[in-house]
Amino acid sequence: MHPPAAPAKSSGAGHGARGSRALYLTALAALGVVFGDIGTSPLYALHTVFTIDDGAVKVNEADIYGVISLMFWSMTVIVSIKYLGVLMRADNNGEGGVMALAVLAQRLYAHRASRSGMLLVVGIVGVALFYGDSIITPAISVLSAVEGLHVAAPAISHLVIPIAAVILIGLFAVQRFGTGKVGALFGPVMVLWFVVLAVAGLGMVVQHPSVLLGLSPTYALTFAFAHPVITFVAMGAVVLVITGAEALYADMGHFGRRPIRRAWFFLVFPALTLNYLGQAALLLHDPEARTDPFFLLIPEWGRLPMVILATAATVIASQAVISGAFSLSRQAVQLGLLPPLTIRQTSEREGGQVYLPAINGLLFIGVLAVMLTFGSSARLATAYGISVTGAMVVDTALLLLVARLLWGWRVWKIAVAAIAFGGLELTFLAGNLSKIVFGGWVPLLIAAVVITVMTTWRRGRQLVVEDRGEKEGSLAKFIEAVHAKAVPRVPGIAVFPHPNKDTTPLALRANVEHNHILHEHVLIVSVITARVPHVPMSQAFTYDDLGYSDDGIEHLTMRFGFSDKPDIPTALRAACRQEILPFEAADVGTASYFVSRGAIRAMHPKGMATWRKKLFVALAHNAVDPAARFGLPVLRTLTMGSDVEI
């Protein structure tokens, strides 16, 4: 819930300069968060291509030009055109990511109930695949950098795993300080990283300028037609150059589209292209360099410093997916797909910058387990790619549906996008399916767990609502009974958070039945999460006197965006200032809050499988307390109610 925007000021030289400075500072912070994943792909992408399947792709001129062409045009089509050129226009009020896109598609197709439900399922699948990426990316990124010790300092190469573990511990420990502060810290490091990438690549390109021929799409086509089977296998590794594109989209809510676009086209894309060309030129000159073309591209005196810089860069690479996971998790909580979690806003200016301790802890455990299990970036590469390409295919499917109604795309335009984006991504996905038995099952297992949790929580909430509805009874009849009995009133304001105004809050019913009193002002508050990131203050409240204008029992509906913090006391003060409620904003400071909450028991044999009911109960027990979720004051909040059976 955001206040109305301040009126625009007249533009002048000073104001324009400040705006440009703010834009570039934001772009700098975005470099420290958004581009870490895709920006560190040169560490392992080309090496993986030329070592996959014991050297199926040969280190000769034709194959090198073909691979470089595939890499360059993959980045151009998927990242530059699809994500930055098209998909970022399909934001949901500034929020990006597959969940925001799914919700946008749902809203556009709300008139088709069956399709609307299917779109949410597609969004859940996309989010689940992204979680798989969020666990594997930090592990492979950090390992690939620290493994540079094998080239730069072989004497201590046996410490690769312990060093990587310590780095990951530090990375997840700093998340509590917020994306903005982390980005401000990491941004300058990433500027140095991309400059070094460009310089290292440019030096070799100048020596072997013929490698620039690899930028022509004809070499990719020639390679594909000459070696279709090998190309298919190679695509499973070429995809590594675009890993991070989905995280880039998911992080849009943290920084906005303009800073991200500027950082990509002005620095990241040119630097990556030059470095890949430099590695290719090195391979043309020295085929044996395929063992580690990235570090062998660096002069011997600079390899150890490069290991240190690469390690810092890969720590930052992990930040992109971690921040994206926070954003998607917050959206899933607000949409009722995950249990209520502790969500900490880490920026007063950027609503998308959040920190979720539970998600941070789970990601850390998963990343550490994956790293210790696989033990090397080469082995982890076999598990990489499936979740990334699967999430991209989901994005494209949703994009094609959104484009039809949002931008009025004609059928031919949708067909072109489907072939250009979907065709390439499906090829990537198919190329990665061969990795399932060698480790690709890991992200699929993670995705399956996430899908199970989300669908179980969603269905369990429906069962809880049904059972509570029977116990709560009609609110209208309850109010009539209160009037008939002339229940004694005591001074003060009692606030009862409750999902609707049709049934009676269990805490309200218990208060009357056991304490035989009502407060002078009884306010039932329903919190609704809108399918937009933010709700303006003018549309946030709906007041209802529930049929009696003088009995002090009222209902207030509060609407929050799925990126807003549902803080009830703050919202009540705002409603008072707008003269929506019949008491003063200062009175909210003395109000008492009554939370309806009882134990959830899996009792009935129908509605959901027994094991899923047990899972739902476990999730409910570990969910954040409603008082914390809604920002209720601890000393003035009471919990009352009865058990709920599902």
For residue 499 the two structure tokens come to: 């999902």
Whether the per-residue pLDDT at 641 is higher than 90: the answer is no
Structure confidence at residue 14 (pLDDT): 42
3-class SS string, 272-291? HHHHHHHHHHHHHHCHHHHH
Structure confidence at residue 451 (pLDDT): 92
How many degrees, rounded to 5, is the angle at CA 150 between CA 148 and CA 151? 70
Structure confidence at residue 116 (pLDDT): 64
- C-alpha to C-alpha distance for 556 and 501, rounded to whole angstroms: 9
User: How do residues 372-385 score in pLDDT, each as one tens digit?
Assistant: 888 887 778 777 77
Mean pLDDT of 203-211: 92
Structure confidence at residue 347 (pLDDT): 59
- C-alpha to C-alpha distance for 36 and 317, rounded to whole angstroms: 3
State the pLDDT confidence band at 5, using cuts at 50, 70 and 90: very low
Residue extents of the structural domains in the chain: 15-439, 465-645
* 67 and 276 Cβ atoms separated by less than 8 Å: no
3-class SS string, 473-535? CEHHHHHHHHHHHCCCEEEEEEEEECCCCCECCHHHHHHHHHHCCEEEEEEEEEEEEECCCCC
SS3 435: coil
Amino acid (one-letter) located at 290:
R
- Strand-pairing partners, residue 530, are 561
Indicate the range of 20-24, 256-260, 488-492, 619-623 predicted with least confidence: 20-24
Mean pLDDT of 397-416: 90
Mean pLDDT of 558-566: 81
Whether the per-residue pLDDT at 120 is higher than 90: the answer is no
State the pLDDT confidence band at 349, using cuts at 50, 70 and 90: low
3-class SS string, 54-89? HCCCCCCHHHHHHHHHHHHHHHHHHHHHHHHHHHHH
State the pLDDT confidence band at 496, using cuts at 50, 70 and 90: very high
Structure confidence at residue 311 (pLDDT): 82
Q: Give, as one character, the DSSP assignment of residue 8.
A: P
Q: Is pTM, for the whole model, over 0.85?
A: no
Structure confidence at residue 415 (pLDDT): 94
- C-alpha to C-alpha distance for 645 and 606, rounded to whole angstroms: 11
Structure confidence at residue 563 (pLDDT): 67
Structure confidence at residue 6 (pLDDT): 34
State the pLDDT confidence band at 125, using cuts at 50, 70 and 90: confident
- Choice between 551 and 417, residue whose per-residue pLDDT is larger: 417
Structure confidence at residue 122 (pLDDT): 84
Structure confidence at residue 257 (pLDDT): 81
User: How do residues 446-495 score in pLDDT, each as one tens digit?
Assistant: 889 999 999 999 888 888 877 777 778 888 888 888 888 888 889 999 99
- State the greatest distance between any 2 C-alpha atoms of the chain, in Å, as a whole number: 94
Whether the per-residue pLDDT at 15 is higher than 50: the answer is no
Whether the per-residue pLDDT at 315 is higher than 80: the answer is no
For residue 241 the two structure tokens come to: 């150059």
Indicate the range of 347-356, 480-489, 493-502, 582-591 predicted with least confidence: 347-356
* CATH fold for domain 15-439: Amino acid/polyamine transporter I (1.20.1740)
Whether the per-residue pLDDT at 18 is higher than 60: the answer is no
Whether the per-residue pLDDT at 206 is higher than 90: the answer is yes
* 81 and 105 Cβ atoms separated by less than 8 Å: no
SS3 553: strand
* 589 and 608 Cβ atoms separated by less than 8 Å: no
State the pLDDT confidence band at 9, using cuts at 50, 70 and 90: very low
State the pLDDT confidence band at 7, using cuts at 50, 70 and 90: very low
Structure confidence at residue 326 (pLDDT): 84
Mean pLDDT of 50-79: 89
- Choice between 419 and 321, residue whose per-residue pLDDT is larger: 419
* 314 and 43 Cβ atoms separated by less than 8 Å: yes
Dihedral angle at the C-alpha atoms of 308, 312, 318, 320, nearest 10 degrees? -140
